[in-house]
Amino acid sequence: MQPDDIITYLDLVNEEKAHLQKGMNYRIGKNYSVFLMSVRKNAPYADQINHTTGALIYEGHDHPKTTLVPEPKSVNQPMTTSSGAWTENGKFFKAATDFKTGLSPNPELIKVYEKIANGIWCYKGFFELVDVEHASDGKRKVFKFHLLPITKTILNGNIELPHNRIIPTHVKVEVWRRDKGKCQICGSSKNLHYDHVIPFSKGGSSLIKENIRILCAKHNLEKSDKIMILVPWISVAAAAITTHRMN
């Protein structure tokens, strides 16, 4: 799987061999963790992407809603459960702190998926958990986990893309709606991928929806050897210009 691939929830389950329900999932793979995120309107948590550095700030999870805690948003996010075990907040807090203090030589690896629509997800790539804040948001204490996108070769030889290629989730959500979840060349709704109209390597932006569209795997690969220059009356393939395969 490559970053910006569009998948169903079932694909996600098959990839991770787990029915993920929670946002934060510590070490569900052999040597990495998984975060699920959403920055849609009404999303339950205030996750943010820094569009300059590509850093992702992921908010911890709330106390479960119980008879004793009827309003989870009014109490501190918990480090431990009532029986004293680490919550997912606590496990990741410990991992980030161990890395910061040098107790652990490597940061925790976190695979991130973002929700695009009901049952539709996008793979965002691998990140490293490099820092954590446990601080007041004005009303209560929350966790803010700092993740940096990985740009070097890791697990199974997968090469992750540069962080500045990361398309913001809100752009992906808007493009999904505009393109109606289909390849913009053939109309297929299978094996879809977010594509840069002008490749990132040629100066195309990741931040505006006009430069992002949905293509199927076949047309994404066909496009990789040429740039389509669209003018009002004719479509010219500038075949001489070889572009990066992943664009």
Judged by the rule CB under 5 A, the positions of this chain that interact with Zn ion are 183, 185-186, 188, 216, 219
Helix (H) / strand (E) element for 227: namely: strand 227-231
CB nearer to Zn ion: give 188 or 205. Answer: 188
Alpha helices in 145-200 (DSSP H): 169-178
CB nearer to Zn ion: give 154 or 217. Answer: 217
Reduce the DSSP state of residue 112 to 3 states and report it: strand
CB nearer to Zn ion: give 100 or 213. Answer: 213
For the stretch 59-86, what's the b/e string if a residue is b when 16 or more beta carbons lie within 10 angstroms of its beta carbon?
A: bbbbbeeeeeeeebeeebbbbeeeeeee
CB nearer to Zn ion: give 160 or 195. Answer: 195
CB nearer to Zn ion: give 79 or 185. Answer: 185
Distance CA 215, CA 185 (A): 7
Tokens describing residue 229: 């220059």
In the complex, least distance from residue 168 CB atom to Zn ion, rounded to whole angstroms: 24
Distance CA 135, CA 81 (A): 19
Counting Cα atoms < 13 Å in the Cβ hemisphere of 32 gives 15
In the complex, least distance from residue 217 CB atom to Zn ion, rounded to whole angstroms: 8
CB nearer to Zn ion: give 161 or 216. Answer: 216
In the complex, least distance from residue 155 CB atom to Zn ion, rounded to whole angstroms: 29
In the complex, least distance from residue 221 CB atom to Zn ion, rounded to whole angstroms: 10
β strands within 28-170, DSSP E: 33-37, 48-49, 56-59, 108-117, 120-136, 141-149, 153-154, 158-159
In the complex, least distance from residue 185 CB atom to Zn ion, rounded to whole angstroms: 5
